[in-house]
Structure 1
Amino acid sequence: MSQMFAITILVLILFIGEIVSIRTRAWIPSIFISAILFLIGYWTFFPADIVSLAGVPPAVATLLIYLLITNMGTLLSLNELKAQWRTILIALAGIAGIMAGLFSLGMLLFDFETVIVAIPPLVGGVVSALIMSEGAEAAGLPTLAVFAIVIYVMQGFAGYPLTSVMLKREGKNLLKKIRNNELTERKLVEDPPENFEGELREPKMFARMPEKYNTDFFKFFRLAFVGYLAYLVSTLAAPIVEISPFVLCLLFGVIARSIGFLERHPLQKANAFGFAIMGLLLFIFDGLKNATPSMMLEIIYPLVACIIIGVAGMYIFSFIVGKILKVSKEMAFAVSLTALYGFPADYIITVEVINALTKDAKEREILMSHMLPPMLVAGFITVTIVSVILAGIFVGFL
């Protein structure tokens, strides 16, 4: 298969996912449809290395993650990040709900090792899944080694549609308040400049530099530099404490935007955001190549049962904590569900839902300011931080 044929097929799949999402007004997220089509492709005629063949090997995907997460940080202000303490508590409550459900009901259905292997991938991403998979393999449990990867790959099938439903309900409630003048825009970022020239002269740290020098490459350089600082700090801190460089990318992006080193959404201003998202999505779906039909049949029962029990526990705990913190049950559950997929799905699903709910630019901005920050913060808390910590603890029990 040639490179251009591979990339054409893969981008067509992403496009079909978007069409379905648009036609169903985000009731069926594009990521859900794309994942199904990728799975069918791998079970039929896709070569296992089709994503790398198309031009997105792991090294490129890692680069895109650094750039995209730093870019996402520029969408948040320091004040907004501090204001998300409720989100963090609800996200942690959701994880506690998954653990409570699997350590109680799950232990009645499965053995201890299955439950231990299931929890970190269910509340996290590829790193925690790999930790548990390698731990199970080392412990002489090859089936559970596969199970750890597949539960990570398949959990999104539950998370994507549920999140879309919750966010649509939340968005409709917010729109009703907006149209009744009961809700105003949060200061997600500083008020935008009133003229185009002011927007072009961002960031403020380089306000005196002639605009003709603020090229796309200069935007890329500053974004890459901030990502490198996050990597450097993570590496230097490693002997003392393990800090994911991706978490630091988010934090450093917020700081760089606040001090005027980066503009808001630099990848979009450099006309590269869509390409970066495309590359990252292809890499994520590349994980589906490991989910063969025979493998799925072997572990389908524990897979489905663990996801159902985990999501039920997540809903109960997030509902209770959300009620205490006066956060709607829809938003509380959506925030918890980010544990099932993380970034960039949390961003994509939120934007899809908002675009489906209203065509008014002002309403979209208000919805974005209310819904996007908690979704982004929750995704990083659950997937990037907590799940890796849990994996590091739980792998010791195998």
Structure 2
Amino acid sequence: MEVFISSQMGLMTVLVLMLFVGEVISIRTKAWIPSVFITAVLFLLAYWTFLPKDAIAKAGIPVGTATMLMALLITNMGTLLSVKELMKQWKIIVIALGGIAGITAFLLFIAVHFLDWNTVVVATPPLVGGIVSSLIMSNGAKELGLTSLSVLAVLIYVIQGFAGYPLTSIMLKREGQRVIKEYRAGAIKRDADSVDPTNISDDKPARLFQRAPHIYNTAYFKFLRLSFCAALAFLASAGFGVIGLKVNAFVLCLLFGIIGKSIGFLETHCLKSAGGFGFCLLALMLFIFDTLKEATPDMILSLLYPLVVIIVIGVIGMFVFSTIIGRIVGVSKELAFATSLTALFGFPADYVITMEVITSLTDDQDERAVLTHHMLPPMLVAGFITVTIVSVVLAGIMVNWLQ
């Protein structure tokens, strides 16, 4: 094994094999066990045994490449939405914020009876966010000499998905089964804008380019337009920074993807029709699992108790608040909880789990389109609200609460 993974392609083969094994188990269990959960376990075991810590970079996916792929993927996700659809997601935004409020409230008022104040404060923002909030809290703890809590902030970020992946899959399957039943009974109609992303093969040019010779609508041209929209998003983010506003570039990538599709500059799911979607998703998923290299067995054992207490109490708080708010705004408890759970992993896992569930529930293209229209936009929007925006703001506030 050591000889095999010493080469770049040998290492890449092993990494992709772990992704494939997770996918197979997800298919065999009809998404009751999501692929990202199995793959995360495999990566954790591999890092503990034979996989070098810099495996992802050695395989050819350094940070710069991952950032570029993330921008392309998120901009492409925007083409699956519409401005009208985005406006509809105000309920999901309220629920996602409520879920974060639930985590924070339960941890600050309940978890403090089991853990000390600093432990609770350090763990809260990473539980509702991504790497940025984890680093803010980790550095804050380190500056105060709280070494173990500095590690806990990173470990929460690394491990939280193990709770979020299966719970999200279960909630989405229940929601999907309900929607299919209502659709078959005629209670739900297919929206004209709804599409099945697993079955997009139309190579028709975007509206602005329909008069141009179709022969020029090549993969390069699609990548060019997608990259241009992503570049505008990063420029806009920098522009907001100049005037003192912090707007995450990836959030703007989603918005510019929606705008690009709406004005006819981008095709629906253009990254897939350009032949690049599968590779981009593969590479980005590998980069996401790269964070597991930080979780050593000794680290997990030493922090197991606070880790379990934080995640269990936090998720219960999320469930209680998201369910109550969901009922108030008219969203089912399953979808409300599932969208709130995106705080535990974000993009691209939210997309992967949602599409796995949809694929497992039906082979009918119309039913898949209905399920996609019903579940994918809320999951994507919630993931960006929780992980990308709110968690960073929360970390910036709570880091000053450390004593």
Deviation by residue 1:110-154 (Cα, 9 ceiling, x = unmatched): 122111111111001111111111221122111111111110010
SS in 2 for 1:116: helix
Compute the RMSD of aligned alpha carbons.
Answer: 1.5
Q: Deviations over 1:208-230 (max 9, x none)?
A: 21111111011111111111111
When residues 85 and 220 of structure 1 are mapped into structure 2, their CA distance, relative to the original with a 3 A threshold, is same
CA contact (8 A) 2:205 2:217 kept: no
Q: 1:368 aligns with which of 372, 377, 395?
A: 372
Residue 265, structure 1, aligned to residue 276, structure 2: no
Amino acid paired to 1:53: K
Q: What amino acid sits opposite 2:161 in the alignment?
A: G
Alpha-carbon separation, structure 1, partners of 2:192 and 2:286: 33
User: Which one of the candidate residues 154, 159, 163 is aligned to 1:158?
Assistant: 163
Closer, same or farther in 2 for the Cα pair 1:202/1:106, shift >3 Å?
A: same
Report Cα offsets for 1:251-288 as digits up to 9, x if no partner: 11111110011111111011111100100110010000
Q: Which residue of 314, 322, 326 corresponds with 1:322?
A: 326
Residue 186 of structure 1, CA deviation: 2.7
- Give the letter aligned to residue 158 of structure 1: A
Is 1:230 the counterpart of 2:239? The answer is no
Amino acid at match of 1:200: D
Secondary structure in structure 2 of the residue aligned to 1:238: helix
Length, aligned pairs only: 394
Is the CA contact 1:121–1:148 (under 8 Å) kept in the aligned structure 2? Answer: yes
Q: Which residue of 2 aligns with 1:178?
A: 183
Distance between the aligned counterparts of 1:307 and 1:323, measured in 2? Answer: 24
1:243 aligned to 241, 247, 260, which one?
Answer: 247
The CA deviation at 1:106 is 1.0
Amino acid at match of 1:221: L
Residues 77-134 of structure 1 show CA distances to partners (whole Å, capped at 9, x for unaligned) of 0000000010000001100000010011111111221111111110011111111112
Give how far 1:376 is off. 0.6
- CA deviation map 1:29-80 (0-9, x unaligned): 0000000000000000111001111111111111111001101111100000
1:283 and 2:274 correspond: no
SS of the equivalent of 1:255 reads helix
Measured after TM superposition, the shift of residue 191 of structure 1 is: 11
Structure 2: gaps (5+ residues): 1-5
CA deviation string 1:139-177 (max 9, x = no partner): 211111111111001000000000000000001111111
Answer whether contact 2:83 2:259 (CA < 8 A) is retained.
Answer: yes
Q: 2:27 matched to 1:22?
A: yes
Is 1:103 the counterpart of 2:127? The answer is no
> 8 Å contact 1:226–1:249 — kept in the other structure?
yes
Q: In structure 1, list runs of 5 or more residues that go unmatched.
A: none
Cα distance in 1 for partners of 2:257, 2:280 equals 17
Shifted more, 105-114 versus 330-339: the winner is: 105-114
Conserved? CA contact 1:32–1:161, under 8 Å: yes
Q: Which residue of 2 aligns with 1:205?
A: 208
1:139 aligns with 2:144: yes
Structure 1 segments of 4+ aligned residues over 2 angstroms from their partners: 186-192, 199-202
Distance 1:7 1:252 in 2: 32
Task: Give the conservation status (yes or no) of the 8 Å contact 1:117–1:148.
Answer: yes
Shift of 1:202: 2.5
Instruction: Return the letter of the residue paired with 1:55.
Output: G
Identity, in percent, stands at 58
Amino acid at match of 1:64: L
In 2, the alpha carbon distance for the partners of 1:191 and 1:163 equals: 20
- Look up the equivalent residue of 1:123 and give its one-letter code: V
**Which residue in the other structure is 1:39 paired with?**
44
Q: What is the alpha-carbon distance in structure 1 between the residues aligned to residue 270 and residue 400 of structure 2?
A: 42
Q: Hey, what does 1:12 align to over in structure 2? A: 17
AA aligned to 2:175 is E
What is the CA–CA distance in structure 1 between the aligned matches of 2:114 and 2:193, rounded to whole Å?
A: 45
Mapped partners of 1:205, 1:315: distance in 2: 45
**Alignment match of 2:259 (pick from 246, 250, 255):** 255
Q: Secondary structure at the match of 2:23?
A: helix
Map of 1:83 onto structure 2: 88
Q: Do residues 218 (structure 1) and 225 (structure 2) align?
A: no
Deviations 1:180-204 (A, max 9, x none): 1111123445899xx98xx433311
SS in 1 for 2:303: helix
